[in-house]
């Protein structure tokens, strides 16, 4: 009996895939292992990924047709944008019976309205292109992150991406006015409203923002635009420790008078990785310091004393012992060099090999406490471990990455992942923090969600999943925990 069901479902799968191929035409799919390979590859190589087919629909209607066929047959669908996600959410699972639906051909900018300050884009538009389109009409789209040349808007919205502009403009969720979504039954929900006020019941778009493709496929969005800053001043500061950086933050907010647009912490160890491995990086200060802050003020008008306010901030910081040394970028090129260090730090860590990464958030005032406790705790467990605590500390977000001791083999170090991550996540939790600030859950943190999220919240998530995707075809096995084991 079970064999018959299996044969039946195999043949149903084959005929459904054949129908999908016919509808999309030869440009709309790949089943050859070589062509499929880039879509199956996970950023960090952590998961074995396979798929029955990769599809690239060209229109929302085609997405809807594909989803309808999958819903009839029970075929799982993994939505994929730029595939830069860091939690394994955008690739297939080992059994290979799901399809990957890439949004790369949904890449049109449908409209731009500088008066309404909105842009309507399809899900597959690359983030950098949205920024450029906004700049062409003298506006700003403020979402900005290291992967912006590759990641797509659909992926950004589905992960509720953070990045460097959160301090001033909020997360991706805060930049959306409307969505178009293909629901798990194949129906198209046209919620592409360009309204800043619309209190007409539940705000449904928020269900899909940050849902990691588990509730439906975002096919287009109305995004908010902002006035383009006329003046940007960037400074790299050496500070004694993370506590000094946090003490400086309120003054930086006041000095900026609403213009503080970035406040990033970097440790020397991270700078060393960038300087060692990333071409074109330069150490901007004459001697090394233990900690740095990359700070940016931006203003909508020229000549409003932004530079003198920044200089006054640094001067006061020196007097209070919060700043040890500082350099203000004298040109856009120099400002880019500072940012290159910040971005190169992440890439440099990869070349160093053997890293265990964390993306935690705690209330901003508790960041120094978190870093102190976490550094001590992991060093007590592994002699010679190299912690690199950096990130968007103006948002309370610390990327707390652990690099293997120089004399330890990568595999031996990575075998300690669970033990070390438990320590880090326990400390963040005790300080009222989160184990995933901006990268989401995917496969990587699914079990952690089952261990740490309050049961009532998991139950609410499951009810929403059941209501919107009753057959469970949307990004199966991702995000929602399959088993719940609580933290002891
Ligand atoms: C160098 C580097 C720097 C990074 N910096 C940051 C950072 O500062 N802040 C940050 O938040 N992240 C960062 N990331 C992580 C990553 O870039 C973001 O999560 C990004 O938003 C993912 O977009 P993507 O198009 O690549 O999505 P993918 O990786 O393709 O997908 C991510 C998730 O969204 C789902 N999905 C994708 N498209 C859709 C859609 N149209 N509808 C429904 N579901 C969909 C996928 O199924 C998956 O679960 C960084 C990554 C790298 C490699």
Among 40, 55, 122, 159, the mutation site with the greatest number of ligand 1 atoms within 8 A of its Cβ is 159
Q: Give the Å distance between the CA of 90 and the centre of ligand 1.
A: 8
Q: Decide: 84 in ligand 1 pocket, CB within 6 A.
A: yes
Among 43, 76, 81, 83, the mutation site with the greatest number of ligand 1 atoms within 8 A of its Cβ is 81
Q: Decide: 181 in ligand 1 pocket, CB within 6 A.
A: no
pLDDT in tens, 423-470: 999 999 999 999 999 999 999 999 999 999 999 999 999 999 999 999
pLDDT at position 63 is 98
pLDDT of residue 74 exceeding 70: yes
Name the residue at shortest CA distance from atom 37 of ligand 1: 155
pLDDT at position 4 is 40
Model confidence at 2, in pLDDT bands (50, 70, 90)?
very low
pLDDT at position 256 is 66
pLDDT of residue 124 exceeding 60: yes
pLDDT at position 458 is 96
pLDDT at position 59 is 98
pLDDT at position 43 is 77
Q: Decide: 80 in ligand 1 pocket, CB within 6 A.
A: yes
pLDDT at position 484 is 76
Q: Decide: 218 in ligand 1 pocket, CB within 6 A.
A: yes
Model confidence at 281, in pLDDT bands (50, 70, 90)?
very high
Q: Give the Å distance between the CA of 473 and the centre of ligand 1.
A: 20
Name the residue at shortest CA distance from atom 38 of ligand 1: 155
pLDDT at position 5 is 41
Atom of ligand 1 lying closest to residue 163 CA: 8
pLDDT in tens, 362-371: 999 999 999 9
Q: Decide: 234 in ligand 1 pocket, CB within 6 A.
A: no
Q: Which residue has the higher pLDDT, 461 or 258?
A: 461
Q: Give the Å distance between the CA of 83 and the centre of ligand 1.
A: 6
Atom of ligand 1 lying closest to residue 181 CA: 42
How far is it, in rounded angstroms, from Cα 459 to Cα 249? Answer: 38
Q: Poorest-confidence range of 93-97, 170-174, 198-202, 224-228?
A: 93-97
pLDDT of residue 133 exceeding 50: yes
pLDDT in tens, 260-271: 999 999 999 999
pLDDT at position 424 is 98
Q: Decide: 214 in ligand 1 pocket, CB within 6 A.
A: no
Return the structure tokens found at 348: 């440099």
pLDDT of residue 113 exceeding 50: yes
pLDDT at position 16 is 96
> Virtual CA dihedral for 250, 255, 259, 261, nearest 10 degrees?
-50
Mean pLDDT across 307-322: 95
Mean pLDDT across 181-191: 98
Single pTM value for the model: 0.94
The number of angstroms, rounded, from the C-alpha of 214 to the middle of its chain's C-alpha atoms is 16
As beta bridge partners, residue 264 has 294
Name the residue at shortest CA distance from atom 28 of ligand 1: 83
Q: Give the Å distance between the CA of 397 and the centre of ligand 1.
A: 17
Average pLDDT, rounded, for the chain:
94
Q: Residues 383-412, buried b or exposed e (16+ Cβ, 10 A)? A: eebbbbbbbbbbbbbbbbbbbbeeebeeee
Mean pLDDT across 72-81: 96
Among 131, 147, 156, 262, the mutation site with the greatest number of ligand 1 atoms within 8 A of its Cβ is 147
Q: Decide: 159 in ligand 1 pocket, CB within 6 A.
A: yes
Contact 206, 468 (CB under 8 A): no
pLDDT of residue 187 exceeding 90: yes
The contacts found for 270-273 with CB under 8 angstroms, 24 or more apart, are: 270/345, 270/348, 270/349, 270/388, 270/390, 271/341, 271/345, 272/348, 273/344, 273/345, 273/348, 273/349, 273/351, 273/352, 273/388, 273/403
What is the 3-class SS of the chain, one letter each residue?
A: CHHHHHHHHHHHHHHHHHHHHHHHCHHHEECCHHHHHHHHCCCCCCCCCCCCEEECCCCHHHHHHHHHHHHHHCCCEEEECCCCCCCCCCCCCCCCCCEEEECCCCCCEEEEECCCCEEEEECCCEHHHHHHHHHHCCEECCCCCCCCCCCEHHHHHHCCCCCCCHHHHCCHHHHEEEEEEEECCCCEEEECCCCCCCCCCCCCHHHHCCCCCCCEEEEEEEEECEECCCEEEEEEEEECCHHHHHHHHHHHHHHHCCCEEEEEEEEHHHHHHHHHHCCCCCCCCCCCCCEEEEEEEEECCCCCCHHHHHHHHHHHHHHCCCCCEEEECCCHHHHHHHHHHHHHHHHHHHHHCCEECCEEECCHHHHHHHHHHHHHHHHHHCCCCEEEEEECHHHCEEEEEEECCCCCCHHHHHCCHHHHHHHHHHHHHHCCCECECCCCCCCCCHHHHHHHCCHHHHHHHHHHHHHHCCCCCECCCCCCCCCCCCCC
pLDDT in tens, 194-206: 999 999 999 999 9
Among 54, 56, 78, 85, the mutation site with the greatest number of ligand 1 atoms within 8 A of its Cβ is 85
Q: Decide: 60 in ligand 1 pocket, CB within 6 A.
A: no
Mean pLDDT across 60-81: 97
pLDDT of residue 15 exceeding 60: yes
pLDDT in tens, 394-409: 999 999 999 999 999 9
Q: Decide: 233 in ligand 1 pocket, CB within 6 A.
A: no
Among 51, 76, 78, 79, the mutation site with the greatest number of ligand 1 atoms within 8 A of its Cβ is 79
Contact 43, 83 (CB under 8 A): yes
Q: Give the Å distance between the CA of 79 and the centre of ligand 1.
A: 11
pLDDT of residue 1 exceeding 60: no
Percent of the chain with pLDDT over 70: 97
pLDDT at position 302 is 76
* Integer-rounded Cα radius of gyration of the chain: 23
Q: How many CB atoms lie within 10 A of CB 93?
A: 20
Name the residue at shortest CA distance from atom 20 of ligand 1: 156
- Please enumerate in sequence order all residues whose Cβ is within 8 A of that of 441, keeping only pairs 6 or more positions apart, or say none: 87, 89, 212, 448, 449, 478, 479
> Virtual CA dihedral for 450, 452, 457, 458, nearest 10 degrees?
0
How far is it, in rounded angstroms, from Cα 399 to Cα 388? Answer: 8
Q: Give the Å distance between the CA of 88 and the centre of ligand 1.
A: 10
pLDDT of residue 485 exceeding 60: yes
Q: Decide: 344 in ligand 1 pocket, CB within 6 A.
A: no
pLDDT at position 354 is 84
- Please enumerate in sequence order all residues whose Cβ is within 8 A of that of 79, keeping only pairs 6 or more positions apart, or say none: 90, 101, 103, 154, 158, 213, 217, 218, 474, 475
pLDDT of residue 8 exceeding 60: no
């Amino acid at each position: 009996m079970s064999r018959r069901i299996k044969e039946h479902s195999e043949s149903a799968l084959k005929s459904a895939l054949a129908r999908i191929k016919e509808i999309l035409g030869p440009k709309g799919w790949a089943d050859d292992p070589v062509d499929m390979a880039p879509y199956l590859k996970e950023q960090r190589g952590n998961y074995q990924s396979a798929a029955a087919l990769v599809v690239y629909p060209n229109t929302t209607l085609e997405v809807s047709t594909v989803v309808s066929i999958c819903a009839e047959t029970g075929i799982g669908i993994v939505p994929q944008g730029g595939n830069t996600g860091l939690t394994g959410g955008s690739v297939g699972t080992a059994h290979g019976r799901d399809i990957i639906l890439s949004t790369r051909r949904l890449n049109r900018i449908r409209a731009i309205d500088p008066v309404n300050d909105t842009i309507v884009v399809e899900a597959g538009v690359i983030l950098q292109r949205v920024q450029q389109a906004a700049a062409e009409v003298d506006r700003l789209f403020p979402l900005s992150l290291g992967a912006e040349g590759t990641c797509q808007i659909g992926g950004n919205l589905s992960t509720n991406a953070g990045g460097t502009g959160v301090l001033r403009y909020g997360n991706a969720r805060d930049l959306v006015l409307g969505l178009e979504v293909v629901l798990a039954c194949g129906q198209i929900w046209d919620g592409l409203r360009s309204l800043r006020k619309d209190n007409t019941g539940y705000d449904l778009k928020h269900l899909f923002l940050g849902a990691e493709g588990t509730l439906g496929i975002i096919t287009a969005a109305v995004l908010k635009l902002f006035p383009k800053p006329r003046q940007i001043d960037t400074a790299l500061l050496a500070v004694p420790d993370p506590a000094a950086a946090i003490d400086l933050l309120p003054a930086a907010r006041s000095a900026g008078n609403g213009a503080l647009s970035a406040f990033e912490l970097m440790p020397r160890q991270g700078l060393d990785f960038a300087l060692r491995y990333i071409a074109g990086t330069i150490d901007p200060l004459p001697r090394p310091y233990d900690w740095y802050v990359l700070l940016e003020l931006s203003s909508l008008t020229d000549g409003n004393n932004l530079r003198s306010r920044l200089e006054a901030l640094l001067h006061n910081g020196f007097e209070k012992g919060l700043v040890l040394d500082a350099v203000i970028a004298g040109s856009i090129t120099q400002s880019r060099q500072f940012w290159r260090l910040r971005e190169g730090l992440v890439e440099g860590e990869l070349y160093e090999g053997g890293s265990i990464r964390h993306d935690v958030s705690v209330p901003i005032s508790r960041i120094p406490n978190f870093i102190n406790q976490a550094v001590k705790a992991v060093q007590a467990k592994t002699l010679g471990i190299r912690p690199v605590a950096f990130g968007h500390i103006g948002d309370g977000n610390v990327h707390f990455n652990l690099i293997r001791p120089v004399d330890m083999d990568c595999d031996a170090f990575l075998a300690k992942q669970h033990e070390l991550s438990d320590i880090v996540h326990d400390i963040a939790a005790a300080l009222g923090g989160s184990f995933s600030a901006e990268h989401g859950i995917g496969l990587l943190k699914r079990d952690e969600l089952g261990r740490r999220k309050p049961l009532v919240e998991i139950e609410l998530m499951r009810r929403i999943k059941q209501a919107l995707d009753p057959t469970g075809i949307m990004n199966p096995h991702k995000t929602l925990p399959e088993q719940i084991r609580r933290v002891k």
